[in-house]
Amino acid sequence: MKSRKMLRYVAAGTAALVALSLAGCGGDAGSSGADAGSTADNGGSESKVITYSSLNYTADTTGNAPQTTKVEERFAEIVKEKLGYEIKEEKQLVHMGDYAEKLKVLFAGGDLPDVIHCGWFGLADLNKYGDQGLVVNFAEYKEQMPNMFSMIEGDSTFADRGYTPEGNLYIAPDIQLTPDGNYDTTANCAFRKDVLDEVGVKVPETLDELYDAAVALKAAYPDVYPIMTFEEWEPLTLGIFNAYNIPSQSVFCNGEEFVFAPFVDGYKESVEFLHKLYEEELIAPDYEVHTSEQGNAAIANGEAFLLPKAWNGYPAQWNEEYPDQEWVYVPGLRSSDEPVKFVYHASDDKIVANSSYYTVISSNSKVKDELMQIYDLKYTEDMQILFSWGIEGETYTVDENGERQVIEENFTDSSYGANAPGDISIDGRARAKNAIILYNGETIEQPLYTFMREVATPEIENAFYKDVTLSTDENEEYANIMTAVITYAEEQTAKFISGARSLDEWDAFIEELQDMGDIQKALDIKNSKLQ
């Protein structure tokens, strides 16, 4: 019999509430509702049947993701036990690479499923649709959702991030319990080790090593551009900027204040490096318009080698999906001997309410009241354990000291649908898989969530990336200044990279930006919100 391979974690304060993998149908929400004519046995009492449609994203590219996981089945049993509802869910799963566009089309059309779990959909856009009445305003239902509101009050920054200036709340946020503060990784890279071994170069950890690897791969595979973008929202250019601890090509907080990226040390150096890659055909001439569809095709065809920017769960996932490929996760390239701040520090709170990944309920749903009850149940401690750790005795055990031990072979089984303990993730199963990690010259093989728990800590030098919420008037004033400036900066940056504009004109470019508007005034608007 195969022995159980266990990994030990301290139970206290590490479970994360991750939204149930709800998938929806794009049909009329009016088709969902409570079936008053149907009942189910519930220990001698009748259960009300709740039918609803839902939409969610998946990292699975094979089409083999289970429609109903064992964790979902267990949650349905608990809903029936505690609320008396028998839930019937009509699901639609969309690959994360296509999800942003799916949400744009869906919200613009206004015909929503009952429940949507959102990612890559800016809160400003969501709030606009909320103000139009498309989704439920949870702020009006505090008494009906005591567990959720109790939880989010533990995040000192959520009120500024999650609520509108008018006090409306349209999202049920994913929750992460972070006893040591909120730390995560951001400068993530994925590299094909087997192909690099073939051409005799090491897996890169610096920009110079990335260049050397790309040159060697180009010589061996002249028809392939070795450095590529996998997903359009994480372009290869951003991976190069990350090496200089620049997390955005526009405005970002450096831990002390908001700054404009083109004015920051390292921005010009990043552009110079990218220009060299472009000139030597190490990146595609149309790199700017590469999409996730092209990225997935390149992975499947074995023609993706060097990804300087990719979600950190992908390498482990690809190693399983494509056993003839060997992918390594590198937590950020360095531009020098100085370490890249690949870990970011968002807050010191013990609870983090995520305003980037969240659930909304259609205001037209016939079962919105029942759905609010169901979702509020997820914010209880028992459900946090269920969704992050799975099922006791099957995906984890608890020892005499109260420590939970993952049963790895089951925990990573997609049929269970458990997520990485202590981690909010796009697909927890991917982060739960054994990953090959190159960190500080050492190759480590372990589940990614283990690595992150050990490395993403207050002790490591980290960046402090955050955003703030502006009022409607402040947003308008900020946009009036920065929209044209940011657009022009991106256009000119692309020209410098391609050589359409000479880097000798860099100082003139900076002056052009400064002449376009009062950039400092725009930064001051955001900086005034920092505490």
Q: How many CB atoms lie within 10 A of CB 296?
A: 17
Tokens, residue 134: 């498309």
Query: For residue 156, what pLDDT is reported?
Result: 83
Tokens, residue 381: 């401690």
What does the pLDDT look like over 227-268, one tens digit per residue?
A: 999 998 899 999 999 999 898 899 988 878 999 999 999 999
Query: For residue 529, what pLDDT is reported?
Result: 86
Query: What does the alpha-carbon distance between residue 9 and residue 7 come to, in Å, rounded to a whole number?
Result: 7
Query: What does the alpha-carbon distance between residue 87 and residue 280 come to, in Å, rounded to a whole number?
Result: 57
Instruction: For residue 509, give Cα distances in angstroms to 126, 495, 512, 522.
Output: 35, 11, 5, 19
* Helical ranges in 142-206 per DSSP H: 146-152, 158-162, 193-199
Spans in the chain with pLDDT lower than 50: 1-31, 36-44, 422-431
Q: Provide CB contacts within 8 A for 459, sequence distance 6+.
A: none
- Cα angle for residues 340, 344, 349 (degrees, 5° grid): 155
Q: Which residue has 């929806």 as its token pair?
A: 24
Instruction: For residue 370, give Cα distances in angstroms to 23, 161, 469.
Output: 17, 27, 31
Torsion of CA 379, 380, 382, 386, to 10 degrees: -10
Query: What does the alpha-carbon distance between residue 278 and residue 281 come to, in Å, rounded to a whole number?
Result: 5
| Residues β-bridged to residue 362 | 135
Half-sphere exposure of 143 (CA within 13 A, CB side): 0
Query: For residue 179, what pLDDT is reported?
Result: 63
Query: For residue 457, what pLDDT is reported?
Result: 65
Nearest to residue 73, comparing CAs of 374, 379, 388, 391? Answer: 391
Q: Provide CB contacts within 8 A for 300, sequence distance 6+.
A: 61, 322
DSSP 443-481: EEEEEHHHHHHHHSSTTS--B--------HHHHHHHHHH
Q: Sign (positive/negative) of CA torsion 200, 325, 285, 313?
A: negative
Query: What does the alpha-carbon distance between residue 361 and residue 141 come to, in Å, rounded to a whole number?
Result: 12
Contact in structure between 74 and 391 (CB atoms under 8 Å): yes
What does the pLDDT look like over 441-465, one tens digit per residue?
A: 999 998 776 787 777 666 666 665 6
Sheet strands side by side (includes 442-447): 306-307, 189-192, 327-330, 434-439, 442-447
Nearest to residue 365, comparing CAs of 20, 135, 143? Answer: 135
Query: What does the alpha-carbon distance between residue 274 and residue 268 come to, in Å, rounded to a whole number?
Result: 10
DSSP category for residue 4: P
Query: For residue 429, what pLDDT is reported?
Result: 41
Query: What does the alpha-carbon distance between residue 478 and residue 74 come to, in Å, rounded to a whole number?
Result: 47
- Cα angle for residues 177, 180, 183 (degrees, 5° grid): 80
What does the pLDDT look like over 219-232, one tens digit per residue?
A: 999 999 999 999 98
Query: For residue 410, what pLDDT is reported?
Result: 83
Query: For residue 15, what pLDDT is reported?
Result: 32
Query: What does the alpha-carbon distance between residue 207 and residue 70 come to, in Å, rounded to a whole number?
Result: 44
Tokens, residue 144: 């009906």
Contact in structure between 185 and 310 (CB atoms under 8 Å): no
Q: Provide CB contacts within 8 A for 390, sequence distance 6+.
A: 70, 71, 396, 410, 411, 416, 417, 418
Query: What does the alpha-carbon distance between residue 267 and residue 133 come to, in Å, rounded to a whole number?
Result: 42
